[in-house]
Amino acid sequence: MSNDTTSRQSWWQRIAHPGQFVAWTTPLLMPLAILTAVLFVVGLWFAFFNSPEDYQMGDTVRIMYVHVPNAWLSQFVYAVITVSALGTLVWRHPLADVSMKAAVPLGALFTALALFTGALWGRPTWGTFWEWDGRMTSTLVLLFIYLGIIALWRAFDDQLRAARVVAVFTLVGAINIPIIKFSVDWWSTLHQPASVFVPGGPRMPLSIQIPLFLMFFAFTFLFLVLHLKAMHTEIKRRRVMTLQRKLAQRATP
């Protein structure tokens, strides 16, 4: 962080100041929230009233409209956390660990929802809530990694130190996730020569694509809004902790 070039700071450096970041992004919150709500309303309307049943899945295709966005977010959020972890370790950006801390619980929630909706889709389609197929199993492992990160973070007292250690573990996870995915896929095809229906396969009719895309963007914007709001809260929480520490220091001597 160089303070000497105040006149020609890049936006990157300018948002590095937490207070500035809050001031800059607060006006964004309300429009984004409204956009999310509109997307949800339109998406749900399409999902229930304006899309046909799939010729193969019947009405259960409607579960896909909430399942696919959650499954996408479970991986997208991990990508966000990974980039934030790089931000913490490589660039030492002060907001990166705030972003990481705000995103992890959201990622865990979306992953859990992907599993939940997947199970409810699997019951009518495969005849069982849980199938040890490649997708579901690697999503379950991803959920364990998220929960592990949360547990690791909560175990630390010192938040700044926690951020760096969690960032290292997050990167280890990021390297490992493709390996886990590969091994689980290999394993599940080994045990059952898969003939699983692949959602989003070769060619979906437009009437199914429209609600899918709407819900996809609705959930993605939902994540962005919640992430931003949680980052603001986290920044305030850090200020609270600093003030409390100051108060305690003043009280002791």
Q: Establish if 192 lies at the interface with other proteins (CB under 8 A).
A: no
Instruction: Considering only residues 17 through 46, tell me which ones interact with other proteins, judged by CB under 8 A.
Output: none
CB under 8 A: which stretch of 4-12, 72-80, 110-118, 204-212 binds other proteins? 110-118
User: Least distance to other proteins from the beta carbon of 239, Å?
Assistant: 6
User: Least distance to other proteins from the beta carbon of 190, Å?
Assistant: 6
Instruction: Considering only residues 134 through 163, tell me which ones interact with other proteins, judged by CB under 8 A.
Output: 141-142, 144-145, 147-148, 151-152, 155-156, 161
- The CA angle 86-88-91, to the nearest 5 degrees, is 80
User: Least distance to other proteins from the beta carbon of 16, Å?
Assistant: 19
Phi-psi region for residue 194, left (φ > 0), alpha (ψ -120 to 50) or beta? beta
**Chain length of the chain:** 253
CB under 8 A: which stretch of 8-16, 72-80, 200-208, 234-242 binds other proteins? 234-242
Structure token pair of residue 238: 């850090």
Long-range own/partner contacts, residues 79-86 (CB < 8 A, 24 or more apart): 80/107, 80/227, 81/107, 81/149, 81/170, 82/170, 82/171, 82/174, 84/167, 85/166, 85/167, 85/168, 85/170, 85/171, 85/174, 86/167, 86/171
Residue 252 burial by Cβ neighbours in a 10 Å radius (0-12, 13-18, 19+): exposed
Contact positions toward other proteins, by CB under 8 A?
48-49, 53, 58-60, 62-63, 66-67, 70, 89, 106, 109, 112-113, 116-117, 120-121, 123-124, 141-142, 144-145, 147-148, 151-152, 155-156, 161, 164-165, 167-169, 171-173, 175-176, 179-180, 182-184, 186-187, 190, 222, 226, 229-230, 232-233, 236-237, 239-240, 243-244, 246-247, 250
